[in-house]
Chain A
Amino acid sequence: MTVPALGKAVSIRSLDKSYGATKALNGVSLEIAAGEFCTLLGASGSGKTTLLKTIAGFENYDTGAILIGGTDIGPVPVSKRNIGMVFQNYALFPHMSVRRNVAFGLEMRRLTKAEITSRVEEALALVDLTAYAERLPRQLSGGQQQRVALARALVIKPDILLMDEPLGALDKNLRQSIQLELKRLHAAVGATVVYVTHDQEEALFLSDRIALMDKGRIVQAASPRDLYDRPANRFVAGFLGECNFIPTPTGTVAVRPEKLRVGSQANDCNQVFEARLLSVIFIGRGYRLILELEGIEITVLTETSDEIAALRTNGLVRMGFRKEDIIATE
């Protein structure tokens, strides 16, 4: 399982799909490089699952094309696409042991018994489940089931690995440890991954590239850093991380909370305002301040300082930002 860059490139070209009157996909185009970890991020109903299912072949699309490794897979049935899929509810076969689940895809490929056995062992070792091989899925915890699903999808050496909110059903601690695991596995296996989530932290942590979706369109596709620092528009800025939209004489500007400065620190700012302080919340490594400016709530994150600690709610405070910290303007 350590062969590098097994994955193939995916090219999605102006894909359209409607469910009756709903346009679930509206001219979606996306290029995913071989071995890339690409995340589809977006609010509920934005079309993430639909895009994933059309790539897998579970749903038809109306117009457009999907190419995997340069070949149009439109006419290829699901069972011949060599795609690994991890479902949100894992979709393990409830009547088969962990070992049989993982072996299933290899049996379909008519490998020899010996090869199946050795590859299943390898895959189980990869996700650290060797000791659980003979159990039935219902005898496993959620996290273990998740890893079985992963092993089952990876063992067939898929051209691409599709995952639809695979961590959605897990609690926060477990989710973080599996995120680490996923990152490690991706580095080790080198598969092309298309990953769906609506958790932005997860997307930022895992992805080489994030495609932000809204109402069936891809709004912006870029690396996590670029998406955060150079959002293409206000929607992206507001979706990814916290963002203040501050009314200025020249129009509304977007500034991240950690880039706003308060009190004496506002002295070297390009623009300074007087805002009313609504509340001061201690959050350990610093303070979260809620200000009000022209009826709009503004959030500021600052480091701990005596000056901030001395601020009184309902009083006026100076608040400002520097020109280069503006991330988007409309």
Chain B
Amino acid sequence: MTMIARHAEPGRRAAWHGFPVWLGLLPFALVLAILFAVPVFSLLRLAFGEGGFTLAHFQRMVDVPVYRSVLGTTLGIAALVTLLAVLASYPLAYVMATVGPRMRSLLLLLVLLPFWTSALVRTTAWIILLQSNGVVNKLLMGSGLTSSPIAFIYNLSGVLIGMTHVLMPFIVLPLYAAFRNLELSTVQAAESLGAGPLTIFARIILPLTAPGVVAGSMIVFMNAIGFYLTPALMGGPGQTMIAQMIASNINTDLNWPFAAALATVLLVATISMLVLFQRFFGLERLIESGGGKAGEPFTVTSRGRSPGGWATVAAAGLVAAFLIAPIIIVFPMSLGSSPFLSFPPESYSLTWYANFFSTSKWVAALTRSLQIAGVVVVSSVVLGTLAALGVSRMRPRWRAAVETIFILPMIVPVIILAVGLYYLLAPTGLVGSIWGVALGHVVLATPYVFITVRAALKSFDGNLELAALGLGASWPTMFRRVMLPGIAPGIAAGAIFAFITSFDDVVIALFLTNIRSRTLPKLMYEGVAHEIDPTIIAASCLIILVTILVLGANLLVSKRT
């Protein structure tokens, strides 16, 4: 205690037994330095030449047509996905803003579910739906609309479908907030001045919702350029994106320096987007959405919807179906009994679940995933909470910079972290044990805990702390009895995000595990890339169920407080 007291700010009263800033910041800063900065900088060094400075690898990127086209494809796909996500988000956000509270919560759930469903599960579901003998093609051919199957996947449309599906929430949510901030009277004023529905959309709604859409689009684009799994599984050779190129240079060509150069390009692109975003919107926008305002929010009055309004509702219905289809389709399919995937199944059974739990490789992978997730939750909760406490009592001057650094692992594409850690840890023997993956997951997951606890601390009344200290409580006692109960919901939410981050990850596991240490998602990935057997669908459903259970538990916890 005396040691801690010495580090308290000199200006404070003697009774102030504060929590030292450095104790909060140091642990996560060390983790980031060793497991994030060192691997990333090693890659940079590789890229610019270990012996002497060279730009040869970058030169090669420009000179060789294949690489040029991969860079072009990456930007093109990211732009298309952003555009599609914006187009699909408008009708949905409009409907969310104009329906009753129940319907609104349901739609919100539809938007968020894909977001929380593991990338692998989503991708698997899309493949089952869209492959040439998949559900959609069977329906189309059965109804006589087409005579031969349409190629939805292993081409551009597959990549666009898969990526738009998961990235849409980044636009729908800010757009919905923008619609709610729009005042009904503003729209009515335009109407009374003679503006028809299209003019109102173009001249009032579009400009007033644009900031939210632009912010969301930047996030989508930033995410999209680093995508690995979806283009790898749902695209064809023509849709190879930069992340896949990095992986193949390491796995097949063993060309580390060139892979590092590609990673550098991806990193620079991402960071530039981040800086732009920071300039225009501020990073808080990533963390929390803005407050309310007076005036009746935009809605539908007793006149009801116009024909255009109903058309928009229909469009929103299609978008909602698009969001939910893959997730609901896998449940009935997992209950089929035939080894051939069909929808709807001819007969129902639990065969594939039984198969899952009686096959040692699946059970072992599940156990390993849970073990890793356990380690990750505990470590990231401790690191993230300490970091949030430290940042909350830092001087404001450096706070924004430290905050940005602490959430960087969320923003930098996972492939870069995975490759960097692989490079760093390969010589240590940690690759192939559960510890290597766990370390990677801790770096990925801690920012989530940091953000949720930071938000909880912001809403925690600082006077309570001072009151407890004033009553003679020491800082640790105060923390245990006053502050911890107050921020517990934030910690719980962070723990859940950490769990899901670890439990769903494929990319880190792809690089940091081998056949003896593979996790459940990695095992599924190998199956999906090869051929989907129904056990994978059962595994997908189990993952969805675990996710829903965990999110439900969080809801219960946050409701109670």
Chain A: residues with CB nearer than 8 A to chain B? 17, 19, 53, 56-60, 78-85, 87-89, 91-95, 104-105, 108-109, 152-153, 156
Contact = CB atoms under 8 A, between A and B. Distances in A.
B189 A91 contact: yes
Interface string B77-114: 00000000000000000000000000000000000000
- Interface residues on chain B, size class: 20 to 34
A91 B185 contact: yes
Contacts, number: 72
Residue from B190, B208, B304 with most neighbouring chain A CB atoms (10 Å)? B190
A88 B183 CA distance: 12
Interface stretch (B193-201, B326-334, B476-484): B193-201
A60 B208 CA distance: 27
B301 interface: yes
B303 A58 contact: yes
A119 to B, nearest CB: 13
A56 B192 contact: yes
A30 B207 CA distance: 40
B289 interface: no
B208 A84 contact: no
B284 interface: no
Given A58-B303, A79-B196, A95 B208 contact: yes
Nearest to B206: A95
Given A91-B183, A91-B185, A105-B193, A19 B295 contact: no
B9 interface: no
B561 interface: no
A57 B194 CA distance: 12
Contact of A80 (B190, B194, B294, B302): B194
Given A94-B208, A95-B208, A152-B193, A89 B294 contact: yes
Nearest to B295: A89
B191 interface: yes
B302 A87 contact: no
11 contacts: A19-B302, A57-B303, A59-B303, A78-B188, A79-B193, A80-B194, A85-B188, A87-B189, A91-B183, A93-B186, A93-B190
A79 B204 contact: no
Given A95-B208, A108-B195, A58 B190 contact: no
A108 B208 contact: no
A2 B295 CA distance: 34
Nearest to A87: B185
Given A58-B301, A60-B302, A104-B190, A89 B195 contact: no
Contacts of B304: 60
B194 A79 contact: yes
B186 A91 contact: yes
Interface string B294-321: 1100000111100000000000000000
B192 A108 contact: no
A186 B192 CA distance: 20
A55 B222 CA distance: 49
A105 B194 contact: yes
Contacts of A105: 193-194
Interface in B302-361: 302-304
Nearest to A100: B203
B186 A109 contact: no
A84 B189 CA distance: 9
Contacts of A84: 192
Contact of A79 (B191, B301, B303): B191
A84 B192 CA distance: 7
B208 to A, nearest CB: 6
A131 B199 CA distance: 29
